[in-house]
Amino acid sequence: MSKKINNLNSNTIKGVDISSVISEEDSGVHYFDEAGHQESTFKILKSDGINYIRVRVWNNPYTKSGNGYGGGNSDLEKAILIGKQASKYGMKLLVDFHYSDFWADPSKQNAPKSWRDLSYAQKQKAVYNYTLDSLQKLKHAGVDIGMAQIGNETNNRIAGTTEWPEMAGIFNSGSAAVRNVDKNILVALHFTDIQKQGNDEWISKQLHDYNVDYDVFATSYYSYWHGSLSNLTQSLSDVSRAYDKKVMVAETSYPYTYQDGDGFSNTINRNSNVTLHGLQLALNRI
């Protein structure tokens, strides 16, 4: 078990993404605390020091016949259910808008089915209205929203839009909706591939040059692909100092064992040359 880090700043986010928890529980999955007692997932996380729950939101992750695409079928309805439970146990929600019907990442940023024929101006309006409506419904349900993420790993595109001037407009449409719902909700933008030298520096400069309104520069960090912890620390520190933004790791995972747990091939093995621990220490130095 990892050792607890003492003297963390009170604003430090200690979060987990449990977007698939509703689907898992509906499939008969149960969760147990360290003593072996079956317990609410949210109660377990709260007792372990978690203060933020991240939940992805896909616009319409279903076929015309109503079959889900999988991955938890993470629509707004499930986000509300998860958010209500998170709030019940005193944890804030990070709403991760993908602006897609399924996973969005650097290689695929497909617009939702209902947006595919929209012009750029129409898409800006759709992003604003969808973000505004979703956040209002979450707040009406009593969810304590701490942060809204405008896109997921949007290095070079978002919702099918690929040029930076238009991407900036999409970001600002989402940001404007967040501000109009609640000015206390932090606006996060999320990128990845920090292993590419100068990547975060270039992206953060585009955001600055195109006057994008946001609070938090977030990155994914998977040590197998994204390099050393010192590189992570340096990259985020540079962005924070240059543009006076909050920074965070929005996604991470790292192996604690090389053993097979599910019968599928592991992405990382003993020859992968990755660190099995130490991420939290790096984040504490940022």
pLDDT at residue 223, as a whole number: 82
> Is residue 233 exposed (0-12), middle (13-18) or buried (19+ Cβ within 10 Å)?
middle
CA atoms within 13 A on the CB side of 52: 21
Find the DSSP H helices in 106-253.
120-140, 164-181, 199-209, 223-226, 229-243
Tens digits of residue pLDDT in 156-205: 999 999 999 999 999 999 999 999 999 999 999 999 998 888 899 999 99
Q: Is the pTM of this model over 0.85?
A: yes
Q: How far apart are CA 224 and CA 79, in angstroms?
A: 30
Q: What kind of architecture, by CATH, is found in domain 15-285? A: Alpha-Beta Barrel (3.20)
Find the DSSP H helices in 141-163.
none
Strand bridging mode 186-191 / 216-221: parallel
Which residues are identified as catalytic?
153, 251
Q: Percentage of the chain with pLDDT > 90?
A: 79
Looking at the DSSP assignment, which residues form a beta bridge with residue 19? none
* pLDDT bucket at 283, cuts 50 / 70 / 90: very low
Looking at the DSSP assignment, which residues form a beta bridge with residue 55? 95
Q: Percentage of the chain with pLDDT > 70?
A: 93
Q: How far apart are CA 207 and CA 165, in angstroms?
A: 10
pLDDT at residue 4, as a whole number: 64
* pLDDT bucket at 260, cuts 50 / 70 / 90: confident
Cβ–Cβ < 8 Å for 186, 148: yes
Residues in the chain: 286
List the domain boundaries for the chain: 15-285
Closest residue by Cα to residue 174 from 219, 209, 125, 243:
125
Tens digits of residue pLDDT in 84-100: 999 999 999 999 999 99
